Structure 1
């Protein structure tokens, strides 16, 4: 069957990239801590990216149906992904190569 359609079934996995997942996890965590959605400047500070990068990512997340925003309303981001489907925020697994002595 069509894998993309299968992934969009209710209760199935939500398709998003690792980077998109980090933005979604940030929205959830920020909202839980601060009681409101983050502003674009909050994303810029956290991810250390430029304003256009943040704006484009939020447009993409909205376009593919992972968030919803009200035009012209600050901090109006609504997460449309269940929290249990989100990755852990900011956890990156470094590749550790151990040297063994011969």
Structure 2
């Protein structure tokens, strides 16, 4: 069976899920940027992609409004990126 999302998309979904469990709110784009060690435009584009594919939803103009739209059993285990702290 083909995967619904790429490995990288799965890691973003896993981070969103784990961050939400730990902190009781969804992550800001800056939290994703720090964890993955990427630029702000890269994170923003990934969130746009995840939204377009209906893996997440967001409320425009509202901070920390990311909501997962995938079943929790589909979310892969979060792995710290190479070179991470």
Instruction: Normalising by structure 2, report the TM-score.
Output: 0.89
Gap runs ≥5 in structure 1: 1-6, 8-12, 93-102
Relative contact order: is structure 1 or structure 2 higher (C-alpha 8 Å, sep ≥ 6)?
2
Cα RMSD after superposing both structures: 1.7
Q: How does 1:1-102 map to 2 (within 5 A)?
A: 15-90=4-79
| Higher-Rg member (1/2) | 1
Instruction: Normalising by structure 1, report the TM-score.
Output: 0.75
**Contact 1:20/1:57 (<8 A) preserved:** yes
Tell me how many residue pairs correspond in the alignment: 81
Runs of 4+ in 1 over 6 A off after TM superposition: none
Gap runs ≥5 in structure 2: none
